[in-house]
Amino acid sequence: MNLILMGAPGAGKGTQAVKISEKFNIPTISTGDTLRRAIADGTEMGLKAKSYMDEGKLVPDAVVIGIIKDYLATDACKNGFILDGFPRSLPQAEALDAMGGNIDAVVSIDVADDVIVERMSGRRVCACGASYHVRHNPPAVADVCDKCGSALYTRADDNAETVKNRLQTYHDLTEPIAEYYNAKGKLIRVDGQGAVEDITARVFAALESIEA
Ligand code: AMP
């Protein structure tokens, strides 16, 4: 199964990617995580990406298309994959088609803007990819990852001003690709509000519909 998870920043793509990955035993690639690692490692790609990310803007298409192209060429994703945070623009969606991405479905996790802003302010993440919310999805021990025991932290771009820019970028550049996939009959919309387990149940139900 080759999947795209789409949704505004903070819609819960990362959380659902972990659940789908565990259930279907397919890997996730998150362009955001890859870019944050590149920044931490001080690579050329990280240096290029940082200023865009700090401002809540999209990193240039060529950079993220390169990440996905390299990844799809690896053995890790020969039985399927989940793309979390890619594509985020029409040129990226077209590039994915051109590289033979062969997407089965695009699950759009839909959340209202005011809910997004509230979620981002309480988001705490772990370097292992796990994501929590101080109220809605707290770890068993405050500020410690349930999965790997590392200390949780707040993402640099989860501050109010950057969140506003990221939402605007989403509406302007990313939302139009929903229609691109809808026209191909691949778009599945899921209500992304409410308890995490209810959202996961809706996502799994949606995936069963494409497996059948
Ligand atoms: P995320 O972790 O998916 O919310 O991504 C964090 C930031 O990384 C975004 O605000 C962008 O600056 C950058 N980024 C991640 N994925 C992409 C992409 N597909 N295209 C352009 N920029 C991206």
Tokens of 104: 């089965």
* Cα–Cα distance for residue pair 186/149, rounded to 1 Å: 38
pTM of the complete model beyond 0.95: no
Nearest ligand 1 atom to the CA of 166 is 10
Res 118: pLDDT:
87
pLDDT at 206: 93
Distance between Cα 159 and ligand 1 center (Å): 15
Which segments of 56-112 does DSSP mark as H helices, in order? 61-72, 90-98
CA of 85 to the centre of ligand 1 (A): 6
pLDDT tens digits, 140-158:
999 999 999 999 999 888 8
CA distances from 98 to 59, 94, 101, 103 (A): 20, 6, 7, 12
* Active site (catalytic) residues: 13, 88, 123, 155, 166
Q: What is the pLDDT of residues 98-141, one digit of tens each?
A: 998 899 999 999 999 999 998 888 999 998 888 899 988 899 99
How remote is the CA of residue 89 from the centroid of ligand 1, in Å? 11
Instruction: From the CA of 35, give the closest atom in ligand 1.
Output: 8
